[in-house]
Amino acid sequence: MKAGDKLVWVIYDITENTKRTKVAKACKNKGLYRVQKSAFLGTLNKNQLDEFKVMCEDIISPDKDSVYIFPMCEDDFKKVKLLGQAFDRKLVTDEVKALFI
């Protein structure tokens, strides 16, 4: 992770399909990784985070939907326990330097 980058969780509950898809797409475009159907995780810098917040505000209906953006510190991330189908820890913290496909 670069200095100034923050590890964030984005979790949402959105009733309308089109809006949900738009938020999911916004997450992907910002470089977050999908860890569950409505949960994304990744590193963003402050500007990207603000941008993302504004984008989500425009998409959702505030009286029905919710989007949670949780920052997480690196020390706590190291303590995360993963069971079953887990995500790639190194990928979300930008430690992977070459991605092979």
Partner 1 sequence: MQLVINTYGSYLQKNGDCFKVKTDEQIYEIACKKISSILISTAACISTDAIKMAMENNIDIIFIDNSGDPYGRVWHPKLGSTTLIRRRQLEIAEIDEGLNLALKWVRTKFNNQIGLLQRLKRTRPHKSAEITAYIGKLQDVMKGLNSLSGTISGCRGTIMGLEGSGGRIYFEILSSLMPDRFKFNGRSRNPAKDEFNTLLNYAYGVLYSRVEKACIIAGLDPYVGFIHTDHYNKKSLVFDLIENYRIWADEVVIGLFASRKVKVEHFDKIPNGLTLNKEGKAILLTDFNSFIDESIRYKGRNIKRSNIIQFDCHRIANQLIGDKDESRG
Any bridge partners for residue 42, and if so which? 8
Min dist. Cβ of residue 52 to partner 1 (A): 12
* Residue from 4, 16, 25, 36 in contact with partner 1 (CB under 8 A): 25
In the set 31, 38, 39, 55, which binds partner 1 (CB under 8 A)? 31
Q: Is 77 in the site for partner 1 (CB under 8 A)?
A: no
User: Which helix (H) or strand (E) covers residue 54, if one does?
Assistant: helix 46-59
Residue 69, SS3 per DSSP: strand
Asked if 46 interacts with partner 1 (CB under 8 A), we say no
Pull the structure tokens for residue 87. 């995500």
Q: Which residue has the tokens 């590193």?
A: 43
Shortest approach of partner 1 to residue 68 CB, angstroms? 20
Max alpha carbon distance in the chain (Å)? 43
- Residue ranges binding partner 1 (CB under 8 A): 25, 28-32, 48, 94, 96-101
